[in-house]
Amino acid sequence: MAFPFDRTYKLLADEDPRGAITRVAGIPLPPEAQIETLDRELNLERQHVDQIYRVQMPGRIFILHFEALTYYRSDWGEAQLDYAVGIGRKYRLPIRTHLVLFQRKGTPEAINPHVVNDLEDLTQHLNVRIVRLWERPAAEVLADNSVALYPWTALMDATPDEQREAARRIRASGRESLEMHMALLGALRYGSRSSFLERIGSMFLTKEILRDSPMWQEIEDEARTEGLAKGLAEGRAEGRAEGRAEGRAEGERRALAMILTRRFGLLPSHIEARISSASLETLERWINQAVVAKSLEASLD
């Protein structure tokens, strides 16, 4: 998955595993089922899955495995098979593997859920259950009293009224991080954060909330490690506008470069040049675009 959506997916799923499985993904489990979140790391090569659970029911124990795609990739099957093999080696239990798709755009109507890897004397088969979030009814999430599930309504089959109600409940909970997650997922589906917030009639995501989010804190921590925190700190401080603004702009340049590098790899020289010469206002706009854009070029439109 693309940063920061992988962080959002894992944080929300970790907070309410049963709800993420039954309400969001629509996987039926009886009330007596016991769910344990397992270690995502599979081997010494640091192969990590998105989400993995051990489910125990009367007379049966098995693994539920989930991989999520922000944007559909035709080569998903090879990775899904590799993950399933690694899970089988580590836990030695039956596996039910799922592919969670975040958005309809770019996703084929028909997806072959049967993955085959034929190596002559060795043939591997995997049956994958496909979860299309835009087909999952948001009403099931709203019927649950778990606030951690409400951000998912941004990606689910929901009316504007249902999404507004989810946003209202999040606001009432005081969970600003969930506001950030819902706005982030809504921006993914509807093209921009402003489009999504206009749809639900709520401008609950302020810049202060973004600054306090885990994603931004990670950016600042890395900047501090590299000796760049001074620019970020000076940018926030009150005082002489000229010197402080330059310090803030430098911090924004570093933060933008980190986001783009995480998402799209090493930056070409012409992109670095554009970032170096951009104004503070432009940098702030590009940062907002960078977390949801589908390409490096689109991030700097």
pLDDT tens by residue, 254-288: 778 877 877 777 788 888 889 888 888 888 888 87
Residue count (the chain): 301
Contact (Cβ atoms closer than 8 angstroms) between residue 50 and residue 10:
yes
Rounded-to-integer distance, Cα 91 and Cα 71, Å: 29
Residues 124 and 18 in one domain: yes
pLDDT tens by residue, 85-118: 999 999 999 999 999 999 998 999 999 999 999 8
User: What pLDDT does 56 receive?
Assistant: 97
Residues 217 and 195 in one domain: no
Residues 169 and 199 in one domain: yes
Residue 35, pLDDT > 70, answer yes
Choose between 6 and 283: higher pLDDT. Answer: 283
Rounded-to-integer distance, Cα 176 and Cα 172, Å: 10
CA nearest 100: which of 10, 33, 192?
A: 10
With cut-offs at 50, 70 and 90, classify the pLDDT of residue 196: confident
Final residue in a domain of this structure, among 208, 225, 258:
208
The angle subtended at Cα 284 by Cα 278 and Cα 285, nearest 5°, is 90
What Rg, from alpha-carbon coordinates, does the chain have? 21
CB atoms < 10 A from the CB of 74, how many? Answer: 7
Residues 23 and 100 in one domain: yes
pLDDT tens by residue, 157-181: 999 999 999 999 998 898 877 888 8
Per-chain mean pLDDT for the chain: 82
Residues 261 and 279 in one domain: yes
Tokens of 15: 């907070």
Choose between 66 and 176: higher pLDDT. Answer: 66
Residue 233, pLDDT > 50, answer no
Here the CATH number for the domain that contains residue 114 is: 3.40.1350
Residues 98 and 13 in one domain: yes
Residues 120 and 151 in one domain: no
User: What pLDDT does 210 receive?
Assistant: 52
Choose between 84 and 238: higher pLDDT. Answer: 84
With cut-offs at 50, 70 and 90, classify the pLDDT of residue 240: very low
Residues 24 and 108 in one domain: yes
Q: Which helix (H) or strand (E) holds 257?
A: helix 241-264
Contact (Cβ atoms closer than 8 angstroms) between residue 228 and residue 254:
yes
Q: Domain limits at 247?
A: 213-299
User: What pLDDT does 291 receive?
Assistant: 74
CA nearest 171: which of 191, 200, 143?
A: 200
Residues 22 and 46 in one domain: yes
Final residue in a domain of this structure, among 157, 188, 208:
208
Residue 135, pLDDT > 90, answer yes
Q: Which helix (H) or strand (E) holds 171?
A: helix 160-173
3-state secondary structure of 202: coil
CA nearest 64: which of 112, 22, 106?
A: 22
Rounded-to-integer distance, Cα 34 and Cα 12, Å: 19
DSSP conformation letters of 41-107: B-STT--B-SEEEEEEETTEEEEEEEEEESS--TTHHHHHHHHHHHHHHHH-S-EEEEEEE--STT-
Number of folded domains that form the chain: 3
3-state secondary structure of 140: helix
3-state secondary structure of 34: strand
Rounded-to-integer distance, Cα 223 and Cα 15, Å: 28
Amino acid symbol at 101: L
Residues 166 and 191 in one domain: yes
Final residue in a domain of this structure, among 135, 170, 187:
135
Tokens of 147: 């606030």
Beta-sheet strands, E only, within the chain: 34-37, 51-57, 60-69, 95-101, 114-119, 122-132
Residues 23 and 49 in one domain: yes
Residues 16 and 101 in one domain: yes
